[in-house]
Amino acid sequence: MEEYSNTPQPNKSKSKLAVALGILVIIFVVLVILVTSSARKQKQTDRLDAGLLPVVGEQAPMMDTGPASVDMVNIELLETFPVQARVVIGGNLPDGCTQISTRSIDYDDTSSTFFIELNTERPVDAVCTQALVPYSEFIPLDLTGLALGTYTVDVNGVTSTFELSIDNEVMYDLDKG
């Protein structure tokens, strides 16, 4: 006589399906990690190729520097007292990798001229778009203490003038507090 057991027998097909499903999930996770890691490495490689990231143990990329090309210089006098001004400079950068790097301002009393030097830089070995890129720079001028008169602003050889119709000094009456 055959004996029957009340203990349920594990279904071997369900167990095999669970194992297969677990293996598929693990493979999927590994693939996702590999793809995202590869994309990150490619992005960093692209930035290295463009000269934007230094390689560990190497020096930063060599930079080509020079004066910025200036097409336009305008002076905006603000209606304040003391008078404030800003220089609006416009021009074109020669390619997509060149950017404005430094600017300096000097004032010469004898010629009443503000000299502004605007410089650019670009990575030497970078592959860049070969199209002009327009730029605008806004530089405030310190006019405090200047007497009435005509003044010149020279930006990389391009000049413009402005006139102060009154002395630009604030007189404080120390007796009134």
Query: Do residues 167 and 106 both lie within one domain?
Result: yes
pTM exceeds 0.85 for this model? no
* H/E run at residue 15: helix 12-49
pLDDT digits (tens, 9 = 90+) for 29-48: 777 777 776 655 555 555 55
Query: Do residues 25 and 104 both lie within one domain?
Result: no
Query: Do residues 80 and 132 both lie within one domain?
Result: yes
Query: Do residues 85 and 33 both lie within one domain?
Result: no
Query: Do residues 23 and 109 both lie within one domain?
Result: no
Evaluate whether residue 114 is within a structural domain: yes
Residue 51 has pLDDT above 80, yes or no: no
pLDDT digits (tens, 9 = 90+) for 109-168: 999 999 999 999 999 988 988 999 999 999 999 999 999 999 999 999 999 999 999 898
Tell me the residue range of the domain where 34 lies.
11-49
Q: At residue 173, what is the residue type?
A: D
pLDDT confidence of residue 58: 63
pLDDT digits (tens, 9 = 90+) for 71-99: 999 999 988 888 999 999 999 999 999 99
Indicate if the alpha-carbon torsion angle 165, 168, 173, 177 is positive or negative: positive
Evaluate whether residue 56 is within a structural domain: no
Evaluate whether residue 5 is within a structural domain: no
Question: What tokens were used for 23?
Answer: 């293996």
Query: Do residues 80 and 36 both lie within one domain?
Result: no
Evaluate whether residue 101 is within a structural domain: yes
Query: Do residues 42 and 72 both lie within one domain?
Result: no
Query: Do residues 97 and 142 both lie within one domain?
Result: yes
